Structure 1
């Protein structure tokens, strides 16, 4: 299992800046190891972000996304105490879900 995603939410009036760092190796399937063999593809395919249980963002990714991908977006109507969750599934069918509270300014 991978490490927990880091979720940071910064309130900016009625909006919040959401920053998420997902820990994942993200292999494209095109790199070769020291022995010259192809390293199998391993990457996040589906990402979903929720605000108090309601889906606010979905994304379909592929092998071109970098290792430990970083996602940033602005969320309207967020306030202290709200819950932001992120979940993802990779091409090997592994998944992870993490959640954080919005902290007051």
Structure 2
């Protein structure tokens, strides 16, 4: 499955705000398909955001997070032009990474 991360980061003063939309099924393992079979669990377990080599947010997620999750947060620091790195790993060992420059 092709995973996609859309990221937008802006800075105002000394605060940087990050918004990310992650394309992922986030299947809980409790839902059935049209044929009545249980859809196996498939969800992001750990997501991490970094700026200039510093971890600015680590999230530990589970099957209760919705499909294609959206996350928004702010942190102190970060300047226009600096990259924000995003990486996640799911319960099947799949990973995705992305970067976006702060504007």
TM-score surpassing 0.5?
Answer: yes
Q: What's the TM-score once normalised by structure 2's chain length?
A: 0.94
Could you say what secondary structure the match of 1:22 adopts?
Answer: strand
Q: Aligned to 1:2, what secondary structure does the other structure show? A: coil
- Mapping of 1:1-105 within 5 angstroms? 1-103=1-103
Q: Where does structure 2 lack aligned partners over 5 or more consecutive residues?
A: none
Q: CA deviation at 1:52?
A: 1.4
Answer 1 or 2: which has greater strand percent: 2
Please list every run of 5 or more consecutive structure 1 residues that lacks an aligned counterpart in the other structure.
none
Please, what is the CA RMSD of the aligned residues?
1.1
CA distance in 2, matches of 1:2, 1:45: 17
Given that 2:3 and 2:96 are in contact with CA atoms closer than 8 Å, whether structure 1 keeps it comes out as no
Distance 1:2 1:68 in 2: 13
Q: Deviations over 1:12-31 (max 9, x none)?
A: 22211110111101101000
Aligned residues: 103
Cα displacement string for residues 53-104 of structure 1 (whole angstroms, at most 9, x for unaligned residues): 211111111000001111111121221111101100001100001001112x
